[in-house]
Amino acid sequence: MQTHIKIVALMNILFGALMVLAGIAVAFGVGLLGLTTGDLGGILILGTIGVVGGLLLTALALPQVIGGLGLLANRSWARYVLIVTSAISLFKFPVGTVLGAYALWVLFHDDTKAAMR
């Protein structure tokens, strides 16, 4: 079961990091799109939407990364963090659904519970 735990941890770190990069891309991309309008209102509105959207994506990704790092370090709290993030991932069809289902199967397994104590 240790192999499955490491796979879940690494997958959460990877997908969380990709989501942080997506947040950065949204913040800069939409902000730059606002600059292309040449209108002060467009710059302010699109800049604000970009920053808020980027921060939101990053805020949703950080628990996934932190939980994955904690799981690699065999921290008991990381299991609970990843249970929550994995349940949320079930709604991110199709890749998130597969990752979330696999992670929940691993995290609720009796061997995982014993290993995290």
Tell me the average pLDDT of the chain: 90
Residue spans of the domains in the chain: they are 2-115
- The CA R_g of the chain, rounded to the nearest whole Å, is 18
- Name which residue leads in pLDDT, 115 or 106: 106
Which pLDDT belongs to residue 37? 79
Show Cβ contacts of residue 32 under 8 Å, excluding neighbours closer than 6 positions.
none
Residues 61/94/85/91 CA torsion (nearest 10 deg): 110
